[in-house]
């Protein structure tokens, strides 16, 4: 379906509550039973996901970008320093939605349908929640059919921020790789060409989310809102007034920005220099770039910063709406990024790179590996890699009056833990069947004790596999590689060296052999679902 779309006048619906038992403890597998949609003392949940954002980009993780709204959540909530994704967009989103590894739900090699699992939307809808989603689902299913009462967003990878569809009268041709798929509730559009000239994905995902909150504010049931933004994924595009704030911020190059970020991280107590030594820089020498190259690089980072700034502004709009409808104090807010900052540079497409200024609708630009190295301070590498620069995400959990503020946790967590955590907190039980087939429970564990300020002991191993990258972490050890061959494995003591600067593989061959075997066995187990 194609055409020009307006956001006004979307259809109102009354949701149907499906069967399922409510538990006060962790997610468990049960067989049915009716559930009340009444609110009780269960919290609302707002889960916010950024796209390709680096570990150090936001202020409460050391960044210089103006993010007061996210920072307020971080400083007054709980910040994790060792929370992990999968290094790639669609496997990360699948893990987040299902509580299972992407290898278990059919989302490990390419985006498609989620298999052998229920989504958070389906889980919480069974538990009587109103389920709402705005933003990106990097798959081939309409999330309206996977547990969400309402869905507006991109059912695809990346898109033009100002116009994801066809060229509109009086405007230039939007830079894009190809036509992308969009969904509004049960309808699918390909392409999606918005009518409004003020359209910008970050703003409009929020517009719909706020409309949903307004529409259902008087219901006597809690809500789950999943806001999956596309910022700051390329193409680098932002409003002019946001770019203007950062035009002079990056003209001195990579080194000063990285050094200041690391210093702030240490001073705020987020990390310490002993266990988080600053990894070796991999960006080019700024003085060796031509004047034209320096101008282009500083402009790209300014636009990238403007995208994160606008993301923060929109999160502020959501918080204000929660206050307006009297729900902030009963709402758990979580924030994360789906992978580290990206070194990918898009060079091919229907209209790539296009023409015009970096940051405009008609020009496709990518951040590139030099700034990505800075954005992932203090870690090594970037998106796609199983090193910490690819897989470690800032993760914030905020719940006014329920989660003590000013805390941080170094517990080694993973996106697979989000669904079990919400299942416990929201009293929603995991089914033993989906679409008539038996399914195994989630692979993750509940982090609710950590949110409550309690200790959580775990001797589990966590696994990664994407593209040429593989890793396994258990206890003090992390085994990681990029490439093939037995000698590609590197071993790090992550109790002492969380930034992976001292490879111990040659000194501890027995540990390498044992953990490599663990990874092989995990791959085999994942084939069972």
- Confirm whether 183 is a catalytic residue: no
Beta strands in 73-140, from DSSP E residues, in sequence order = 78-84, 130-135
Beta bridge partners of 153: 183
Contacts of 246 (CB under 8 A, 6+ apart): 65, 301, 302, 303, 305, 306, 309
For residue 285, the tally of other CB atoms under 10 A from its CB is: 10
Separation of alpha carbons 341 and 311, rounded Å: 15
The DSSP bridge pattern shows strands 331-337 and 392-398 to be antiparallel
What do you get for the CA distance between the two ends of the chain, in Å?
A: 34
- Confirm whether 138 is a catalytic residue: yes
Q: Exactly one of 89, 95, 158, 375 is catalytic; which is it?
A: 89
Separation of alpha carbons 107 and 110, rounded Å: 6
- CA 127, 132, 135, 138 dihedral sign is positive
Separation of alpha carbons 339 and 383, rounded Å: 6
Nearest to 55 by CA among 280, 264, 318: 264
Q: How far does Cα 120 stand from its chain's mean position?
A: 15
Separation of alpha carbons 523 and 103, rounded Å: 8
Percent helix, strand, coil in the chain (nearest 5)? 30, 20, 55
Q: Exactly one of 84, 111, 137, 138 is catalytic; which is it?
A: 138
In order of 84, 154, 301, 332, 336, the CA distances from 482 in angstroms are 17, 31, 27, 37, 24
Catalytic residues: 89, 138
């Amino acid at each position: 379906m194609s055409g020009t779309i307006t956001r006004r006048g979307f259809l109102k619906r009354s949701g149907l509550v499906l069967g399922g038992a409510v538990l006060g403890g962790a997610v468990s597998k049960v067989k049915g039973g009716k559930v009340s949609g009444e609110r009780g003392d269960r919290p609302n949940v707002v889960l916010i996901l950024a796209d390709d954002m680096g570990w150090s980009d936001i202020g409460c993780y050391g960044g210089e970008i103006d993010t007061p709204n996210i920072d307020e959540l971080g400083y007054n909530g709980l910040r994790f320093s060792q929370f992990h994704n999968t290094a790639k967009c669609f496997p990360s989103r699948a893990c987040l939605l299902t509580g299972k590894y992407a290898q278990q739900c059919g989302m490990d090699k390419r985006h498609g349908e989620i298999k052998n699992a229920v989504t958070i939307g389906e889980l919480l809808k069974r538990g009587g929640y109103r389920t709402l989603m705005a933003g990106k689902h990097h798959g081939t299913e309409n999330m309206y059919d996977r547990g969400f009462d309402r869905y507006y967003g991109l059912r695809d990878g990346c898109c033009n921020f100002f116009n994801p569809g066809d060229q509109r009268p009086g405007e230039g041709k939007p830079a894009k790789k190809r036509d992308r798929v969009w969904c509004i509730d049960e309808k699918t559009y390909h392409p999606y060409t918005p009518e409004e000239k003020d359209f910008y994905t970050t703003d409009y995902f929020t517009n719909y989310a706020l409309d949903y909150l307004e529409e259902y504010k008087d219901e006597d049931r809690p809500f789950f809102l999943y806001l999956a933004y596309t910022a700051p994924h390329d193409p680098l595009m932002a409003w002019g007034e946001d770019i203007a704030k950062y035009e002079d911020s990056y003209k001195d190059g990579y080194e000063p920005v990285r050094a200041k970020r690391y210093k702030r991280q240490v001073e705020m107590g987020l990390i310490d220099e002993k266990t988080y030594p600053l990894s070796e820089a991999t960006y080019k020498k700024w003085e060796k770039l031509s004047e034209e190259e320096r101008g282009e690089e500083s402009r790209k980072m300014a636009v990238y910063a403007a995208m994160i700034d606008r993301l923060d502004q929109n999160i502020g709009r959501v918080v204000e709406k929660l206050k307006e409808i009297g729900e902030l104090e009963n709402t758990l807010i979580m924030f994360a990024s789906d992978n580290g900052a990206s070194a990918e540079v898009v060079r091919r497409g229907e209209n790539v790179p296009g023409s015009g200024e970096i940051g405009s609708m008609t020009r496709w630009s990518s951040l590139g590996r030099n700034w990505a190295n800075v954005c992932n301070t203090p870690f090594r590498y970037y998106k796609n890699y199983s090193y910490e620069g690819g897989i470690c995400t800032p993760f914030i959990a905020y719940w006014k009056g329920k989660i003590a503020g000013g805390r941080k946790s170094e517990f080694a967590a993973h996106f697979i833990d989000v669904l079990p955590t919400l299942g416990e907190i929201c009293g929603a039980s995991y089914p033993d069947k989906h679409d008539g087939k038996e399914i195994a429970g989630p692979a993750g564990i509940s982090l609710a004790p950590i949110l409550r300020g309690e200790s959580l002991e775990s001797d589990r191993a966590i696994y990664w596999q994407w593209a040429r990258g593989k890793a396994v972490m258990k206890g003090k050890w992390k085994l990681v590689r990029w490439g093939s061959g037995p000698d590609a494995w590197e071993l790090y003591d992550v109790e002492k060296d969380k930034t992976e600067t001292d490879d111990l593989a040659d000194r501890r061959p027995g540990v390498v052999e044992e953990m490599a075997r663990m990874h092989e066995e995990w791959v085999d187990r994942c084939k069972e679902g």
